Amino acid sequence: MKPVKYQFLVNWGDTDAAGIVYYPNYYKWMDQASHHLFSIHGYKVSELFKNEKMGLPLLEAKCQFKSPLFFEDEVYVLSIVKEIRNKVFIIEHEFKKGDIEIANGYEIRAWTDFSNGKPKAVSIPEVVRLAFFGDESDRKII
């Protein structure tokens, strides 16, 4: 699987008083990039919840910052499902401005059933696993 590209422009409201992007925005963008990644692979998060009462809540997130971003910077995030375990996805994100690495991070998200009113992580179906990896051997499926 190749990384999926999510592009955006830094808005004025994303910056702090010094004109630098305020760090929580990177987590917002990782979330948006993950939703884009799942949509590209046929699993639009809003439809998944509406039609099947399944969701992808965030269990863990980390971001390491390399270089600052400013208002109106053109940025893209390369996102990839790096590993699929029984009930979770590990998604890696790389932020870039042109060829400059801005930040990198990851998220761990659970495949979660909300049908009984209480969220419960469940095994990721084989069809979902195949949507991301197919026959590829360069990614880790546990």
CA distance 91 to 78: 10
- Taking Cα atoms as reference points, which of 16, 28, 19 lies closest to residue 8? 28
**CA atoms within 13 A of residue 58's CA, in its CB half-sphere:** 13
State the average pLDDT for the chain. Answer: 94
Condensed to tens digits (0 to 9), the pLDDT of residues 86-102 reads 999 999 999 999 999 99
Section 35-57 average pLDDT:
95
> What pLDDT score was predicted for residue 7?
98
Three-state DSSP class for residue 35: helix
CA distance 26 to 64: 10
Domain ranges of the chain: 4-141
4-141 — its CATH code? 3.10.129.10
pLDDT at 128 over 90: yes
Instruction: pLDDT band for 134, please (50, 70, 90 cuts).
Output: confident
Asked whether the beta carbons of 142 and 83 are under 8 A apart, the reply is yes
